[in-house]
Amino acid sequence: MRPAFRVLLSAFCILLFSSCASPADREPAAPQLVFLNLGSSGQAQLVSQTDLHSPFTILQYSIPSDCSVYNLYPNPVHSLLAAELLCNDQARVEIYDLQTGQTYLPVEQTDSRFLAWTADGSQAYLKTDTLGSPQVVHIAVPGGKPEALPFPATLYDLATLPDGRVVYSLTRGIGYGSETWLAEADGKPIRQLLAEPYAIIAYLRPSPDGSRIAFILFPDSQAPFPNGELWVMNADGADPRRLAAADAGHGFAPAWSPGGTQIAFVVRANADDERVQQSAAALVSNVYRIEVQGGTLTAVTAFTDAIAGSPTWSPDGTMLAFNVVRDGKMQAWVTSLTDAAPAPLGEEFSCCAVWLPGR
């Protein structure tokens, strides 16, 4: 796989602005699928499509030559895209405005990792200086200055609720388990939701209405890629329940359907193979979706020789996009849940497909 397209399959703990106009003043954009494509030119490009049957459009965002892409994070409301990069062994976040073509570096002179957008799309949460004096900051978009917040330095995961509050998980290290807390938007803790002395709570993902939170639970152990489970609980921490076995440790977060009735997630096809807990390359996986209420489990893909992961829903809930790694080659794929088989996007290499919703 070419370096410009190396997507990091690492554990969770490795852990975008325009001109002077505010997001509220922007014209709503039509939903569009955005992904990274590496064609015959050998240059990675950010491209978009509003129709899967139409040619893609090359966007103005330029990936620095010394950087590789970890992931893309679409703003839930506006035409802003956060790109998390690894540049000379240091993580950094850039924010790209699809309307103006401008790229912004929200945090300068320190490493940064993306945590979450607020539900109204007006702010982003980042973790900065992760190898020095870690802190969580939030930044108003566009053009805001980072503001440090009093979250614990041991925080590794954070998600925002529609009412502005946040949930986050922290750990004091291997062997100490993990905790999940509810807090105000400014970091002031409200109460503990979960405490797992022997497990790690990761990839917190609230439902669209904020009433429930999905997460992946896996053993707190030395194994880099342990088997995991998909869980869901009420937003106040009540009624936590296991939904299904799930992959853990490869960075694959669960994804709620826009209607909040289903969750797409990654399942190991070779969970009984002991090598899969030690080697990322040993994994064979597929994307599944599950009905949260009834528990009906449906396979979205059926690969026997590939790693399928990072599912993301289209805004209308009719399609899923995901990454597929096979024979050292990565491609973004998309499938209709009603009338089409999965198919790859882009040319030689592609990854990280996400939808920017029209509002």
Peptide bond into 206 cis (omega under 30): no
Distance CA 330, CA 323 (A): 7
- pLDDT reported for residue 26: 46
Phi, psi of 276 (to 5 degrees): -65, -20
Residue where the block lists tokens 């449906």 = 298
Distance CA 296, CA 290 (A): 5
Q: Which segment of 103-112, 177-186, 187-196, 301-310 scores lowest on mean pLDDT?
A: 103-112
Give the bridge partners for 335, in sequence order.
320
Q: pLDDT of 143-159, one tens digit each? A: 789 999 999 999 999 99
Q: pLDDT of 155-192, one tens digit each? A: 999 999 999 999 999 999 889 999 999 999 999 999 99
- pLDDT reported for residue 335: 95
Give the CATH superfamily of 3-356.
TolB, C-terminal domain (2.120.10.30)
Domain residue ranges in the chain? 3-356
Q: pLDDT of 194-218, one tens digit each? A: 999 999 999 999 999 999 999 999 9
Distance CA 267, CA 263 (A): 12
347's tokens: 């040319």
Residues sharing a CB contact under 8 Å with residue 211, sequence separation 6 or more, in sequence order: 234, 235, 260
Q: 3-state class of 288 per DSSP?
A: strand
- pLDDT reported for residue 2: 40
pTM above 0.85, yes or no: yes
177's tokens: 């388990």
pLDDT at 14 over 50: no
- pLDDT reported for residue 19: 31
- Cβ proximity of 188 and 150 under 8 Å: yes
- Cβ proximity of 263 and 292 under 8 Å: yes
pLDDT at 309 over 50: yes
Q: With pLDDT > 70 as the criterion, what percentage of the chain qualifies?
A: 90
- Write the CA distances from 35 to 93, 322, 350, integer angstroms: 17, 10, 7
Q: With pLDDT > 90 as the criterion, what percentage of the chain qualifies?
A: 74
- Cβ proximity of 84 and 73 under 8 Å: yes
Mean pLDDT (the chain) is 89
- Write the CA distances from 27 to 30, 99, 100, 358, integer angstroms: 10, 9, 12, 10
- pLDDT reported for residue 10: 37
Distance CA 232, CA 352 (A): 25
Instruction: Give the torsion sign (CA, 90, 47, 28, 26).
Output: positive
- pLDDT reported for residue 30: 62
- pLDDT reported for residue 12: 35
3-state secondary structure 88-155: CCEEEEEEEECCCCCEECCCCCCCEEEEEECCCCCEEEEEECCCCCCEEEEEECCCCCCEEECCCCCE
pLDDT at 65 over 60: yes
312/17: higher pLDDT: 312
Residue where the block lists tokens 């936590």 = 240
Burial 147-160 (b: 16+ CB within 10 A, else e): eebebbeebbbbbb
pLDDT at 108 over 80: yes
- pLDDT reported for residue 81: 95
